[in-house]
Amino acid sequence: MGSALPWRWEIGRGLDSERNHLREMLKHLPLGSLLVADAGFTGFELFKEMARTHLSFLIRVGASVTLLTHLGFEVERQGDIVWLWPGTQRKQVPLPLRLIRLKVKTKWSRDRQAMYLLTNVFDYERLPDEVAGKFYQMRWGVELFYRSFKRTLDQHKLRSHAPQQAEEELHWALTAMLLLGLMSVDALASVQRDPCQLSVAEALRTVRHAMLTNDRWRYRGDLRKRLAQALKDDYQRRSSKKARDWPHKKKESPPGPPKIRPAKPNEIARAKRSYKVA
């Protein structure tokens, strides 16, 4: 997260489900991986599937999710334990999760806002709240990756006229971005610099300059050193980089807090029966 190094990607239509794309990629993740995602990737069945494939997850949750407390079961834990058990899934065993509450600054407000994360990592020493918050902040690098791919590499519009050629074009464009990231991150690591500080725009300019120079063989030995300097600017900004309010700009609002309530007596009894059946 935070670097220009995608592990894997799925290509589909604009209306395809991102959750289905994630399900296709789960089997390709190493066992024990920690998957960090935003509030668009919640869901009882998706969480169950990740748990079955021995993956850990850290996912933001919003107002569309209802969580239960005091369901009557003991779970080895440190921190708040909640239960995800939608009304449409009451024939299945409820899913215990750890709820992490954080106060963070967001792009919607200058004040610190409450953020709620769900994880299946119950060991606090393995995943402290502070580390979970840092991991989720690093997730913003995924959004920056999209921006770099679409704008910096100028791939916001495909040039092919047929669907099959457009798919191949997109695949090879992503492969090119991966290669650029591999070269750049390797150069940064060689001088012990943080890969998350990589500037894709600066790395792209460096590689293009190397391709256009007359003495390419002499330049090739210097390319790695130049890529190690492809860093984001670190000066203190005096004004915001935020673009002005264009009419077509999406009016996003932050996810609200999840609905958290104690389990009702009939829910507790039904949960106990579901555990006996399981």
Evaluate whether residue 235 is within a structural domain.
no
Q: What is the pLDDT of residues 203-237, one digit of tens each?
A: 999 999 888 876 655 665 688 889 999 998 887 77
Instruction: Give yes or no for residue 104 having a pLDDT over 80.
Output: no
Residues 88 and 196 in one domain: no
Residues 113 and 31 in one domain: yes
Evaluate whether residue 41 is within a structural domain.
yes
Number of domains in the chain: 2
Residues 77 and 51 in one domain: yes
Residues 155 and 57 in one domain: no
Tokens of 218: 């002499």
Q: Are 135 and 117 in contact (CB under 8 A)?
A: no
22-31, 38-47, 165-174, 207-216: segment of lowest average pLDDT: 207-216
What's the confidence (pLDDT) of residue 24?
92
Q: What is the pLDDT of residues 31-41, one digit of tens each?
A: 889 999 999 99
Evaluate whether residue 149 is within a structural domain.
yes
Residues 32 and 165 in one domain: no
Tokens of 257: 């807090």
- What residue numbers bound the domain in which 256 lies? 18-139+251-277
Residues 64 and 201 in one domain: no
What's the confidence (pLDDT) of residue 209?
86
Instruction: Give yes or no for residue 26 having a pLDDT over 60.
Output: yes
Evaluate whether residue 171 is within a structural domain.
yes
Characterize the bridge pairing of strands 66-69 and 259-262. Answer: parallel
The residues facing 82 across adjacent strands are 97
Please report which confidence band the pLDDT of residue 95 belongs to, taking 50, 70 and 90 as the band edges: very high
Residues 128 and 179 in one domain: no
Residues 35 and 163 in one domain: no
Residues 76 and 200 in one domain: no
What's the confidence (pLDDT) of residue 14?
83
The Cβ-side half-sphere exposure at 222, using a 13 Å CA radius, reads: 10
Q: Which residue has the tokens 């012990």?
A: 192
Characterize the bridge pairing of strands 66-69 and 80-84. Answer: antiparallel
What's the confidence (pLDDT) of residue 109?
54
Residues 24 and 151 in one domain: no
What's the confidence (pLDDT) of residue 277?
60
- How much is the pTM? 0.86
52-56 contacts at long range (C-beta below 8 A, 24 or more positions apart): 53/26, 53/27, 53/29, 55/26, 55/29, 55/31, 56/32, 56/119, 56/120, 56/121, 56/127
What's the Cα-to-Cα distance from 263 to each of 69, 71, 75, 90, 259, rounded to whole Å? Answer: 6, 6, 16, 13, 12
What's the confidence (pLDDT) of residue 111?
63
Three-state SS annotation for 132-150: HHHHHHHCHHHHHHHHHHH
Pairwise pLDDT comparison (212 vs 76), residue with the higher score: 212
Residues 160 and 40 in one domain: no
Q: What is the mean pLDDT of residues 75-100?
A: 85
What's the confidence (pLDDT) of residue 107?
56
Evaluate whether residue 233 is within a structural domain.
no
What's the confidence (pLDDT) of residue 25?
93
Residues 87 and 209 in one domain: no
Identity of the highest mean pLDDT range in 56-65, 73-82, 246-255: 56-65
Q: What is the pLDDT of residues 242-252, one digit of tens each?
A: 666 666 666 66
Pairwise pLDDT comparison (1 vs 117), residue with the higher score: 117
